[in-house]
């Protein structure tokens, strides 16, 4: 049929449109960054401090990519480990810079489907990685808010009891999740044809450990770059608080929200210039650099997406028990 003959052209047009949209988002993001300040801030740091911060960034990405490796064991698909890691890295970098819907979800569906996974399996991978990341946030954020809440500025309209209560709710939600994984007699549901399967307690705890390590590594980058006598617990607490603030003010990459929270809470103590320098350098190391690498890797994966699709599909699905 004629429409089938046009499918390759339609697919190419959709890919081109997708890349144009991604390029536009990247261009808009780049315009919002003061690159002169970034360069000046990086130039002012000792090389040893930047190396440590870069190592912490690598650790954070490694932990996050491990979510997809765990999801591989959880779903039973047999996609090669190196391809899983490549897809996870691309999705994490795009997620941080373009938002979860585009990066964490959209790119995973595209790249995993090219690799031969079924949509049902991809949906389970996506849900698994999201749950992994937020399990660590619930634990660290809950502990921070419940037992060591940061002192908010007097002009912020937040009652003193709100943060401890929010932290307690977060810890209760995590405990409920782990309890279900450990003790629920029913392990799977299929609402509207979508399969939901509880992981084992061992996998859930592995998710939690990796997610905590990832969040702590991110906080370590900022701690190293602040170059001041600020407690690590305080830096981590402000980071987690900025993430909560961004859940209310939805901004891709937390752009602007994080800077505002850090300046409001540390600007009087360290000076606005120093705080902004640390956050901008953090963005360069943790957002911009990995984004450039992920863009090149994504183009490589796209270029090789059409090679041996049948063999790749068989490999990816031979252990898929959907």
Question: Looking at residue 48, what is its pLDDT?
Answer: 92
Model confidence at 159: pLDDT above 60: yes
Helix (H) or strand (E) holding 196: strand 196-197
| 3-state secondary structure labels for all residues of 240-299 | HHHHHHHHHCCCHHHCCHHHHHHHHHHHHHHCHHHHHHHHHHHHHHHHHHHHHHHHHHHH
CB atoms under 10 Å from CB of 251, counted, come to: 13
CA 209, 213, 217: angle at the middle one, nearest 5?
175
pTM over 0.75: yes
Write out the two tokens for 171. 């810890």
Average pLDDT over all residues of the chain: 83
Question: Looking at residue 303, what is its pLDDT?
Answer: 83
Arithmetic mean of pLDDT, 141-167: 86
262-312 residue pLDDT tens? 888 898 888 877 888 898 889 889 998 999 999 999 988 888 775 544 444
Of the chain, the percentage scoring pLDDT greater than 70 comes to 79
Of the chain, the percentage scoring pLDDT greater than 90 comes to 48
Model confidence at 98: pLDDT above 90: no
Instruction: List the single range of 12-16, 37-41, 123-127, 277-281 with lowest mean pLDDT.
Output: 12-16
Of 121, 65, 120, the C-alpha closest to 297 is 65
Model confidence at 81: pLDDT above 80: yes
User: Which range is most confident: 93-107, 250-264, 276-290, 307-321?
Assistant: 276-290
Q: How far lies 162's CA from each of 73, 150, 166, 261, 285, in Å?
A: 39, 12, 6, 17, 33
Alpha-helical (H) ranges within the chain are 2-5, 7-31, 35-43, 47-75, 81-98, 108-114, 119-147, 162-183, 201-226, 232-248, 257-270, 272-283, 289-303, 309-317
204-235 residue pLDDT tens? 999 999 999 999 999 999 999 998 778 999 99
65 pLDDT band (50/70/90 cuts)?
very high
Q: What b/e string do you get for 109-143 counting C-beta neighbours within 10 Å, with b at 16 or more?
A: bbbbbbbbbbeebbbbbbbbbebbbbbbbbbbbbb
Q: Taken in order 314, 315, 321, 322, is the CA torsion positive or negative?
A: negative
Q: What are phi and psi of 266, to 5 degrees?
A: -125, -10
- Alpha-carbon Rg for the chain in angstroms: 21
């Amino acid at each position: 049929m004629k429409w089938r003959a046009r499918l390759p052209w339609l697919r190419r047009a959709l890919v081109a449109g997708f890349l144009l949209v991604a390029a536009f988002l990247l261009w808009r993001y780049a315009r919002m960054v003061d690159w002169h300040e970034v360069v000046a801030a990086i130039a002012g740091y000792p090389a040893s401090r930047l190396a440590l911060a870069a190592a912490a960034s690598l650790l954070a990405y490694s932990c996050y990519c491990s979510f997809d490796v765990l999801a591989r064991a959880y779903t039973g698909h047999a996609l090669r480990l190196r391809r899983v890691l490549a897809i996870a890295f691309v999705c994490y970098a795009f997620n941080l810079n373009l938002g979860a819907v585009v990066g964490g979800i959209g790119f995973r569906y595209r790249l995993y489907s090219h690799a031969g996974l079924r949509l049902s399996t991809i949906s389970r991978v996506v849900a698994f990685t999201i749950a992994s990341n937020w399990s660590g946030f619930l634990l660290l954020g809950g502990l921070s808010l419940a037992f060591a809440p940061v002192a908010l500025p007097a002009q912020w309209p937040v009652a003193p009891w709100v943060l401890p209560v929010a932290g307690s709710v977060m810890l209760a939600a995590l405990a409920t999740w782990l309890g279900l994984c450990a003790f629920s007699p029913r392990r799977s549901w299929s609402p509207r044809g979508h399969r939901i399967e509880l992981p084992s307690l061992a996998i859930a705890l592995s998710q939690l450990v990796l997610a905590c390590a990832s969040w702590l590594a991110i906080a370590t980058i900022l701690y190293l770059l602040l170059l001041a006598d600020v407690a690590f617990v305080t830096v981590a607490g402000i980071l987690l608080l900025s993430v909560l603030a961004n859940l209310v003010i939805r901004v891709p990459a937390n752009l602007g929200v994080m800077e505002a929270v850090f300046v409001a809470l540390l600007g009087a103590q360290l000076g606005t210039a120093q705080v902004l320098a640390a956050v901008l350098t953090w963005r360069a190391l943790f957002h911009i650099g990995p984004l450039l690498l992920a863009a090149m890797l994504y183009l490589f994966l796209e270029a090789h997406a059409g090679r041996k699709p049948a063999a790749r599909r068989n490999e990816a699905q031979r252990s898929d028990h959907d």
